[in-house]
C-alpha cells in the first residue's frame, strides 16, 4: 500500500527555519529512496494563515495519510490541525505544541523554555553569579517569550543584572545594529545572550568593530554550523552554544514513516533536550554540509 505524507513547515525566512527546510528536503529524499511506497510532499508557508491554507490543500489536493507539521505559531494552527486530524489523518506535531492537548498522534518536541534555562544557567555560572549582561530577543512571539522566561528563571536570585533587552528579530542585521547601540550605551558588558545564532553573528561583528572582544562573551542558540565551528575551535568570544536542532523535523519524519512501515504503531511524545555545546562535545553537532 502507498502512503502520502504531507510536511508543512514555515518558509526559510531566517537561519533556523532555513535549517528546517534543508533537513526536511534531505529526509524526504532519503526516505523516498528507502521506501518506494512512501511519497512525501513538503509545503512551506510565510505566515500562519498561509500555513492553514497549506494544511487544507494537503488534505483536499494531495489526499495525505499523515501530516508532519511544524506550526508557525501554536495558537492559530491548533484548529486547522484539528480539522486535518478530524479528516482521519495521522498527525505528527513538531517543536511548537498545539494549545489543545490530545490532537496529535505523535509529538516531537523542542523545548524553548529549556533553551533559555540552559543559556541562563551557563551565564550565571560563568559570571559567578554576578555581572551586567544584555539580551537580544527574537521576533515577539511565544517562542521568544518562553525562551526569555526560562532564561530569567535561571538567573533569578543571582546578581546577574540585565541591562536591557531589545528585539533583534532573529536577524543578523538587527543583531548587529542593536549590539552596536548597546556598546555605545554601556561601558561595561560582561556577557551577551543573543538567544539565536543568527543574532549572535551580528553581535560578534559589532563587538569586533568596537574592539571589545576581551571584555565579554556571547551565548547564542540553535546550533548553526558557523557558531559550532567557533566553539569547536575554542573561540573565547563564543565559548558555548545551546542546541535547538532544526534536524528535529527529520526525526519527526522518520518516526512518522516508521509508523506506517514498521509493524507496531509509533505514538507518543519525543522530547529533544537543549544540551549545552562546548568545546569538548562540539564535534558531534557539526555538519559542514548543512546550509545552517
Residues with Cβ within 8 Å of 153's Cβ and at least 6 positions away in sequence, in order, are: 116, 117, 120
Q: Binders of other proteins: how many residues, by CB under 8 A?
A: 74
The SS3 of residue 62 is helix
Site for other proteins in 44-73 (CB under 8 A): 44, 46-50, 52-54, 56-58, 60-63, 72-73
| Binding residues for other proteins restricted to 238-277, rule: CB under 8 A | none
Phi, psi of 68 (to 5 degrees): -110, 120
In the complex, the smallest distance separating the C-beta of residue 263 from other proteins, rounded to whole angstroms, is 29
Could you give the 3-state DSSP secondary structure of residue 159? strand
Q: Which region, judged by CB under 8 A, interacts with other proteins, from 142-150, 213-221, 236-244, 256-264?
A: 142-150
Q: How far apart are CA 272 and CA 153, in angstroms?
A: 20
* 15 touches other proteins by CB under 8 A: yes
CA distance 114 to 273: 7
**Closer residue to other proteins, CB minimum distance, 201 or 243:** 201
**Nearest approach, Cβ of 237 to other proteins (angstroms)?**
15
**What's the CA angle centered on 195, arms 141 and 46, to 5 degrees?**
40
Q: Residue 257 CB, nearest distance to other proteins (Å)?
A: 17
Q: Which of residues 223-242 bind other proteins (CB under 8 A)?
A: 226
Q: Is the Cβ of residue 140 or residue 265 nearer to other proteins in the bound state? A: 140
- Packing angle between helix 197-210 and helix 15-34, nearest 10 degrees? 140
- How many Cβ atoms are within 10 Å of 183's Cβ, its own excluded? 21
Rank residues 121 and 181 by Cβ distance to other proteins and give the closer one. 181
Binding part of the chain for other proteins, among 5-13, 102-110, 248-256, 279-287 by CB under 8 A, reads 5-13
Q: Which residues contact 86 (CB under 8 A, 6 or more apart)?
A: none
Residue among 121, 139, 239, 276 that touches other proteins (CB under 8 A)? 139
Angle (nearest 5°) at CA 79 between 27 and 18: 30
The span from the CA of 122 to the CA of 128, in Å, is: 10
Which 95-124 residues touch other proteins, going by CB under 8 A?
99-100
Shortest spacing between CB 102 and other proteins, in angstroms: 13
Query: x/- site string to other proteins, residues 79 to 98, per CB under 8 A?
Result: xx------------------
Q: Footprint of other proteins on residues 18-47 (CB under 8 A)? A: 18-19, 21-22, 25, 41-44, 46-47
153-212 positions binding other proteins, by CB under 8 A: 164-167, 171-173, 176-178, 180-185, 198, 201-202, 205, 209-210
CB of 262 to other proteins, least distance (A): 25
Helix (H, G, I), strand (E, B) or coil at 94: strand
- Closest listed residue to residue 69, CA positions, set 33, 31, 36, 24: 24
Amino acid at each position: 500500500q502507498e502512503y502520502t505524507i504531507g510536511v508543512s513547515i514555515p518558509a526559510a525566512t531566517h537561519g533556523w527555519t532555513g535549517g528546517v527546510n534543508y533537513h526536511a528536503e534531505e529526509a524526504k529524499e532519503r526516505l523516498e529512496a528507502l521506501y518506494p511506497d512512501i511519497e512525501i510532499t513538503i509545503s512551506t508557508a510565510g505566515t500562519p494563515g498561509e500555513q492553514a491554507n497549506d494544511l487544507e490543500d494537503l488534505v483536499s489536493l494531495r489526499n495525505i495519510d499523515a501530516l508532519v507539521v511544524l506550526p508557525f505559531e501554536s495558537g492559530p494552527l491548533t484548529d486547522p490541525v484539528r480539522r486535518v486530524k478530524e479528516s482521519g489523518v495521522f498527525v505528527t506535531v513538531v517543536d511548537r505544541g498545539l494549545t489543545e492537548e490530545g490532537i496529535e498522534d505523535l509529538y516531537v518536541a523542542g523545548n524553548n523554555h529549556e533553551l533559555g534555562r540552559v543559556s541562563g544557567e551557563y551565564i550565571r555560572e560563568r559570571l559567578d553569579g554576578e555581572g551586567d549582561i544584555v539580551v537580544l530577543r527574537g521576533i515577539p512571539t511565544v517562542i521568544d517569550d518562553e525562551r526569555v522566561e526560562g532564561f530569567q528563571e535561571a538567573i533569578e536570585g543571582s546578581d546577574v543584572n540585565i541591562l536591557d533587552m531589545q528585539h533583534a528579530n532573529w536577524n543578523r542585521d538587527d543583531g548587529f545594529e542593536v549590539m552596536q547601540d548597546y556598546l555605545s550605551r554601556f561601558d561595561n558588558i560582561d556577557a551577551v545572550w543573543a538567544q539565536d545564532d543568527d543574532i549572535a553573528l551580528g553581535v560578534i561583528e559589532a563587538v569586533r568593530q568596537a574592539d571589545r572582544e576581551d571584555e565579554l562573551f556571547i551565548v547564542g542558540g540553535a546550533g548553526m554550523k558557523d557558531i559550532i565551528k567557533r566553539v569547536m575551535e575554542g573561540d573565547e568570544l563564543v565559548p558555548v552554544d545551546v542546541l535547538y536542532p532544526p534536524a528535529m523535523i527529520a526525526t519527526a519524519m522518520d518516526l512518522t514513516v516508521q509508523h506506517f512501515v514498521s509493524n507496531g504503531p509509533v505514538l507518543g511524545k519525543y522530547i529533544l533536550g537543549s544540551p549545552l555545546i562546548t568545546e569538548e562535545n562540539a564535534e558531534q553537532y557539526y555538519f559542514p554540509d548543512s546550509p545552517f
